[in-house]
Amino acid sequence: MPRPIRRRPGARTTPGWSSPYHWTVPEPDPVDRFRDRYAQPRGEVARRVERAVLGHAVGLNGFTTVAQAETLCDALPVTTGGRLLEVGCGHGWPGFHIARRHACEFVGSDVPLDALRDARANAGVRQLGARAVFVAADGRALPFPSAVFDAIVHADTFC
């Protein structure tokens, strides 16, 4: 008779299965998955695909198109010199687009540090300079006081 496989401590079991001999693989942490994704360099192939599929190469890290970003620009109550927060900013899209169009300050928050490093570099390329600030923060517990932003936006955000 084969020996049963003992479940590892902390491993999740399939609902309805309570056998101590049922073996499962722990689910990967979603935050770790996104950290790994943003640690990968964005290559020329990704830019070519974006250009071919969407007609532009603005450095998308999600699925928000330029047309959708324009719709956000029109809908958000941000004025020149105002302040915009993008929760889950990734590499900075579409927040950079909105901030440039409204000539406002931009605060980007996200969890993966690699994404924030890329966003900081992209802010310089997009001529946002000192108007862009980045904060490592989870969207569920933002470290900002109430009413400091004219608008808050998130696109393709996992939180």
Residue 57 and residue 49: Cα distance in Å, rounded? 8
User: Does residue 22 lie within any of the structural domains?
Assistant: no
User: Does residue 15 lie within any of the structural domains?
Assistant: no
Residue 95 and residue 133: Cα distance in Å, rounded? 12
DSSP 151: E
128 within 8 A of 104, measured Cβ to Cβ? no
pTM of this structure: 0.69
Total domains in the fold of the chain:
1
User: Does residue 20 lie within any of the structural domains?
Assistant: no
39 within 8 A of 111, measured Cβ to Cβ? no
Strands 151-153, 83-87: pairing is: parallel
User: Does residue 79 lie within any of the structural domains?
Assistant: yes
User: Does residue 95 lie within any of the structural domains?
Assistant: yes
The CATH number of the domain holding residue 149 is 3.40.50.150
In this prediction, residue 64 has a pLDDT band, given cuts at 50, 70 and 90, of: confident
- Residue 151 in this model has a pLDDT that exceeds 90: yes
User: Does residue 159 lie within any of the structural domains?
Assistant: no
Q: Which residues contact 31 (CB under 8 A, 6 or more apart)?
A: 111, 112
Containing structural domain, residue 90: 36-153
* pLDDT per residue as tens digits for the range 49-61: 877 877 766 666 6
CA distances from 90 to 28, 95, 155 (A): 20, 10, 10
